[in-house]
Amino acid sequence: MHTVNANGANIPALGFGTFRMPDDDVHRILPQALKLGFRHVDTAQIYKNEASVGDVIANSGIARGDIFLTTKVWVDQYKHADFIKSVDESLKKLKTDYVDLLLLHWPKSDVPLAERIGALNEVHKAGKVRNIGISNFNVALMDEAVKLSDAPVANNQIEYHPYLDQTKVIEAARKNGISVTAYYLMADGKVPGDAVLKDIGAKHGKTAAQVALRWAVQQPDVIALSKTATESRLKENYDIFDFELSSEEMQAIFALAKADGRIVNPGHLAPEWDK
């Protein structure tokens, strides 16, 4: 599997996401994912499954240094003292003394961005976090975060799939040496049945889902999160590095973007999105 290098972070291009995954599912499916070869695992404080993720990694027999582990600080922990405490709690649950990437989960908050970035820098300096980043940030907020931070910002995790044009934020990230992690790549179940993606997949002996994942990782500096609780799908999601999409096929997928393509938009958390 190839990796994406961004401001010093070496991130496996395909990650296993655990959003909305109960503990039982994490215990059942994550060991299979690691066995298959996944080496990038994504969780968050708000997912309430960090302890399960930690259990699985600790019992996997895989060296901690071989797994790229991401977690995210939730918005109710943004005040400096709460932030530091919450990171220590996350590390305890994850049974590790560091995470590879720590993100601010959403931008909207009464806590000044400078305070949040300051806390990120503090845990980075203390060695609790190897790399720092943000999630769901628009271009202006991403630029502000970069200016405020002593440590390089390595990643912005955003909703990204064939129906949502994220060119502006991806190009702005690239200028700052920041990678982008795509979540919601299956667009809430729309991707697997998409006629254009199925048609492209048929030419490569692949599914529409594999085409969407491949489309993401084939873009420079883009990392794809895949998520499934179904064992058979795991292998499907992992097998995306043995084929390549032509530039015409890539363009056909970009052309699926719609003006109202955004799915995740919680008003109390989201910024003003880039038009």
SS3 state of residue 120: helix
Buried b (16+ CB within 10 A) or exposed e, 113-150: beebbebbbbbbeeebbbbbbbbbbbbebbbbbbebbe
Which stretches within the chain are classed as H helix? 23-36, 50-58, 80-94, 113-125, 139-148, 167-175, 195-204, 208-217, 231-238, 247-254
Query: Is 80 marked as a binding-site residue?
Result: no
Radius of gyration of the chain (CA): 18
Here the tokens at position 7 are: 């401001």
Q: Are residues 201 and 210 in contact, defined by beta-carbon separation less than 8 angstroms?
A: yes
Q: Can you read off the two tokens belonging to residue 100?
A: 């590879």
Q: What is the dihedral of CA 105, 106, 112, 114, to 10 degrees?
A: 50
Catalytic residue (choose from 47, 78, 163, 238): 47
Q: State the CB neighbour count (10 A cutoff) for residue 66.
A: 10
Query: Is 47 part of the annotated catalytic residue set?
Result: yes
C-alpha span between 30 and 48 (Å, rounded): 15
Enumerate the known binding-site residues: 105
Q: Which residues are catalytic?
A: 47
Annotated binding-site residues for substrate read 105
